[in-house]
């Protein structure tokens, strides 16, 4: 234990304020634990400050002692929940952070076997779906520890559609997932029926094991058929999309501890599906098809056929989710909510990091209030973090026999 921490803890005067900057208390701690002790001290100090828990010295002392003995430390359930919520608050690419305090946290740190994670992921989706009233949710599995890596979920999201690459270069399904689809096939997944919307299996690597695939139960995947409020022919296209956007390849980092498997979700903003998933040329690329069905002049971009088709695709998505009773926001509403979040956080003296290129919606950006200002690009902890090796797994670029490595 650091000697100055001991003197603070043993004063016997609970009313006495901390006399030191807690960051200074970890100076001089030798490697290899210096970075972890610094991160732990900063997080535990933040937790105590924001929750009015008083002097954090005793808790910091406990954590540093545990780090010295084991190379890591264990968060209390309250610390875990607070850390996960603040990680959402700090997500610089997310426009929907106004409700960060509402994030439900499922503590599943006792789970590290692949089959247990697969079952818990299905439970996550059922609870997040909530009959269509989507709930923000994170499930946190076992963390990395020295010599004991935690489990990994290889999927980019718990629900994605397969992309089957054809010999002629075309793709049936989602071109974004062709690499991951091929990887799942190499692991033994037989593939789905071959539609554009076959749900991919989960690929999970248990602690110390090889990756395995698991089919998601049908009752864990709510899908919404996409129809248009005016054009009856739209239903003939057979479009649909899943209700819960649950990211699963990001590491949750809290106070220096890495939770490599921590799937989390909010709810969709309509343009994520209508403008990106359906509209991008590297995804389902629906705009030419929709424009032809609408009778638009596609000979020249100056006719704005892409813009007109894009609006109708987004109208169809919003209409369909509303009709199905599934939670979805639109980009105008979410933009106003983000500015409300920004104002609320700044009044509390907190800096809000934001990436303009992600915060501004991909549809009618300049018609939303988030377009007309700049943002701080600071990265803060706790955070949901992309690690290169996790991105490689999600793209299907990793060898299927890849052994786990700590973050």
Distance CA 43, CA 381 (A): 8
Beta-carbon neighbour count of residue 235 at 10 Å? 14
Distance CA 320, CA 67 (A): 51
Residue 340 has φ and ψ, to the nearest 5°, of -65, -40
* Total count of residues recorded for the chain: 407
Is 59:40 a contact under the CB 8 Å cutoff? Answer: no
> Where are the strands (E) in 190-326, listed by range?
202-205, 211-214, 223-225, 240-242, 246-247, 251-254, 257-259, 264-265, 268-269
Active-site residue set: 94, 97, 267, 272
| Burial class of residue 187, CB neighbours in 10 A (0-12, 13-18, 19+) | middle
Q: Is 145 helix (H, G, I), strand (E, B) or coil?
A: strand
DSSP conformational letter for 353:
B
| Burial class of residue 132, CB neighbours in 10 A (0-12, 13-18, 19+) | middle
Distance CA 383, CA 83 (A): 8
- 295: CB partners within 8 A, 6+ apart: none
Q: Is 174 helix (H, G, I), strand (E, B) or coil?
A: coil
Structure tokens given for 221? 């995947």
Of 100, 32, 8, which is closest to residue 256 (Cα–Cα)? 32
Element spanning 357, H or E? helix 356-359
Say how far residue 203 (Cα) sits from the centre of its chain: 17
User: Which residue's entry shows tokens 């638009």?
Assistant: 296
DSSP conformational letter for 234:
G
Is 112:284 a contact under the CB 8 Å cutoff? Answer: no
User: Which residue's entry shows tokens 């749900």?
Assistant: 199
């Amino acid at each position: 234990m650091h000697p100055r921490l001991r003197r603070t803890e043993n004063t016997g005067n609970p009313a006495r304020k901390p006399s030191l900057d807690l960051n200074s208390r970890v100076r001089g701690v030798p490697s290899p634990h210096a970075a972890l002790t610094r991160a732990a001290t900063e997080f535990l100090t933040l937790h105590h400050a924001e929750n009015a828990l008083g002097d954090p010295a005793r808790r910091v002392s406990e954590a540093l002692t545990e780090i010295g003995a084991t190379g890591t430390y264990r968060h209390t359930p309250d610390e875990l929940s607070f850390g996960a919520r603040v990680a959402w608050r700090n997500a610089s690419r997310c426009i929907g952070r106004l409700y960060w305090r509402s994030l439900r946290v499922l503590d599943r740190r006792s789970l590290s076997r692949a089959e247990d994670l697969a079952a818990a992921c299905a439970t996550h989706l059922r609870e997040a779906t909530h009959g269509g009233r989507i709930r923000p949710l994170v499930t946190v599995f076992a963390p990395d520890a020295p010599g004991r890596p935690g489990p990994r979920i290889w999927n980019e999201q718990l629900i994605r559609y397969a992309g089957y690459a054809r010999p002629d270069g075309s793709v049936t399904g989602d071109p974004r997932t062709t690499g991951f689809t091929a990887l799942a096939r190499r692991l033994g997944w037989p593939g789905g029926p071959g539609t554009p919307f076959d749900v991919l299996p989960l690929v999970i690597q248990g602690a110390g094991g090889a990756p395995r695939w698991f089919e998601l139960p049908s009752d864990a995947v709510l899908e919404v058929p996409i129809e248009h409020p005016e054009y009856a022919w739209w239903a003939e296209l057979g479009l649909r999309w899943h209700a819960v956007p649950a990211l699963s390849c990001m590491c949750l980092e809290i106070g220096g501890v890495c939770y490599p498997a921590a799937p989390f979700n909010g709810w969709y903003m309509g343009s994520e599906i209508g403008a990106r998933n359906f509209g991008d040329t590297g995804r389902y690329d629906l705009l030419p098809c929709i424009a032809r069905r609408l009778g638009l002049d596609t000979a020249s971009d100056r006719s704005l056929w892409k813009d007109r088709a894009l609006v109708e695709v987004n109208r169809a998505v919003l209409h369909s989710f509303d009709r199905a009773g599934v939670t979805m926001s639109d980009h105008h509403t979410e933009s106003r909510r983000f500015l409300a979040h920004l104002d609320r956080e700044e009044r509390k003296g907190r800096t809000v990091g934001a990436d303009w290129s992600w915060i501004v919606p991909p549809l009618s950006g300049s018609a939303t209030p988030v377009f007309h200002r700049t943002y701080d690009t600071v990265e803060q902890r706790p955070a949901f973090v992309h690690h290169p090796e996790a991105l490689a797994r999600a793209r299907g670029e990793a060898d299927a026999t890849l052994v786990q490595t700590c973050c």
